[in-house]
Structure 1
């Protein structure tokens, strides 16, 4: 059996069965999703993290590329109670270390008790616990990954749906899931996907009806360019955001964000709309949250479990954001109408825009 070791902050070293070789390090997190492992593994929001699946069997319906949310696997490593050969082979081909035959209940409990933590991984025929410990010693905090946006973003602007007749969306790619773009295209929008560090001039040249900030990995404080774009255009065009995008929009409008103990990751997070009282189940994947929305935003939806903000709306501007993933994939489709609400903010006809200095 191929050896596998996971070194955790605090000195604990776990041993499991190696399914895909390699050494790596990252922030240890867990998801409660019981389906959608292909979508989760290709979600850019897991960049620089080690993903633990709480559901015991991962891979029982194979691996199909049409379910991927991006072009590659993003977690630095994968932990599970049992991985099928299909998933293990996929991860090995992607160069992503994988470990199973773990008591993932214990791992999840450790994360819930101690919070998301640094870890080191070593998998291979000749690895030792010391190899995993060495990886742990070189692991840095998520907030210190200051260039993480560049790891998941497009390099140049890419346009989808150029022949569509609907609104024009400038989507700032901080690690966007493919299903977000698809959800906009299905509503006849033209979507320009821009790099995470796009300039005011880049957006201005597109003359969009809507500025949209995507999901993505890491600390929203490290996305200064995206914050600047929201500041520049919020008084000119409607602004929307999902997940990290909500946090970036809040920071741009005077709000504050903070790191959560272990975040929300799964497909069964209950969210209440404060106006209607309706509760829906949502898909989530984030480790940061808005701690204070500031003076220009108000909280429209909250998480039923911990009361953290799940939706924000502008009090002075046309702004709508969601902390969860309304496009789901995986997860329930109860919140797809978010995209209708976003597009409804735009004026019927496109207009040229000039950013604030």
Structure 2
């Protein structure tokens, strides 16, 4: 069996087994999810990262395209204790390097202690520790990917209509790396969904005259999504606003808040979130490395993470804003928070205050 190597910041190199050949680098992160590997691997939020699975066996129920969140694998490379042949072959076909047969418990422990770190991967017949170190040396930080949105967004607007009569609200979904299940969750509730490029102009949104502006999840530093922030600023108060994950961070920044990079982020399907109004705890799916450190003057924190008190939900009754840091569409994960999409669509119609303006 061919060899693989993982070079870490700090100088250490971990020996592994090659499961899909190639050389790659990226920010090394881990997920605690024990299921949903197909959804995780096709989640655009993992763009420019190297995904480590903490659960020891990945691939035990095969690979089925209907579970994919996007048409491609997004992590730059994959690390696991053991990958099945199905997953290894899929990653090889996608050109994504993958290694296993290493102690992922130790690797996850290092990430928890030192934070998400840069790494280099070398795997295959020509693999070597030196090649892994060279890949690491060329690895940029996540905030250095100035235009990462262009790597994951649609190039032009796409419109999806629900089955049956399309008489529901129109949603302008700003695609900063949107998971397909977000679009499907809106379609299932009768909405027409206009998927728009991450850098769509206010004028193009005004021409659509949607009922709600929805900012999606996505990869990287929210500070690099300036066009989406401008869009939120332009329509705040005129149009109901919603956001998921990166979308929450973009909305907060646009309305005067601040974001910060987390030590190792939240990635998994068992993150507990406390709703401050109902005092109810729900289990959630999460995948993010940045958080809203200060919601600013316009937004109220309505939900917090039970483990570290980070902001999980922001709202404004005056501006018709509702956002979530976690993934209510729950692919994969618990369905505790699917009602978020009902709450978003409830802001449309009679609650809309004024016509959309691009002035």
Shorter-chain TM-score tier: over 0.9
Partner of 2:300: 298
TM-score (norm 2): 0.98
Partner of 1:138: 138
Cα deviation, residue 74, structure 1? 0.2
On the 8 A contact 2:238/2:354 being kept in 1, the answer is no
Q: Give the Cα–Cα distance (whole angstroms) in 1 for the partners of residues 252 and 346 of structure 2.
A: 21
1:343 equivalenced with 2:353 (yes/no): no
Q: Give the Cα–Cα distance (whole angstroms) in 1 for the partners of residues 351 and 265 of structure 2.
A: 40
Q: Give the Cα–Cα distance (whole angstroms) in 2 for the partners of residues 4 and 215 of structure 1.
A: 32
CA deviations on 1:242-298 (whole Å, 9 max, x unpaired) are 000000000000000000000000000000000000001000000000000000000
Cα deviation, residue 356, structure 1? 5.1
On the 8 A contact 1:257/1:288 being kept in 2, the answer is yes
Cα deviation, residue 352, structure 1? 8.5
Once the two structures are superposed, the pairs formed by residues 10-29 of structure 1 within 5 Å of their partners are: 10-29=10-29
Cα deviation, residue 351, structure 1? 9.5
On the 8 A contact 1:81/1:100 being kept in 2, the answer is yes
Unaligned runs of 5+ in 2: none
On the 8 A contact 2:239/2:352 being kept in 1, the answer is no
Partner of 2:311: 309
Identify which range, 48-57 or 156-165, moves more after superposition. 156-165
1:122 equivalenced with 2:119 (yes/no): no
On the 8 A contact 1:207/1:352 being kept in 2, the answer is no
Cα deviation, residue 348, structure 1? 4.5
Partner of 2:181: 179
Runs of 4+ in 1 over 2 A off after TM superposition: 348-357
1:216 equivalenced with 2:218 (yes/no): yes
Once the two structures are superposed, the pairs formed by residues 277-292 of structure 1 within 5 Å of their partners are: 277-292=279-294
Partner of 1:261: 263
1:329 equivalenced with 2:312 (yes/no): no
TM-score (norm 1): 0.98
Q: RMSD in angstroms over aligned alpha carbons? A: 1.3
CA deviations on 1:15-68 (whole Å, 9 max, x unpaired) are 100000000100000000000000000000000000000000000000000000
Unaligned runs of 5+ in 1: none
On the 8 A contact 1:207/1:350 being kept in 2, the answer is no
Aligned length: 357
1:226 equivalenced with 2:228 (yes/no): yes
Partner of 1:90: 90
Cα deviation, residue 128, structure 1? 1.0
Q: Give the Cα–Cα distance (whole angstroms) in 2 for the partners of residues 285 and 90 of structure 1.
A: 22
Q: Give the Cα–Cα distance (whole angstroms) in 2 for the partners of residues 353 and 62 of structure 1.
A: 49
Partner of 2:194: 192
Q: Give the Cα–Cα distance (whole angstroms) in 1 for the partners of residues 214 and 353 of structure 2.
A: 16
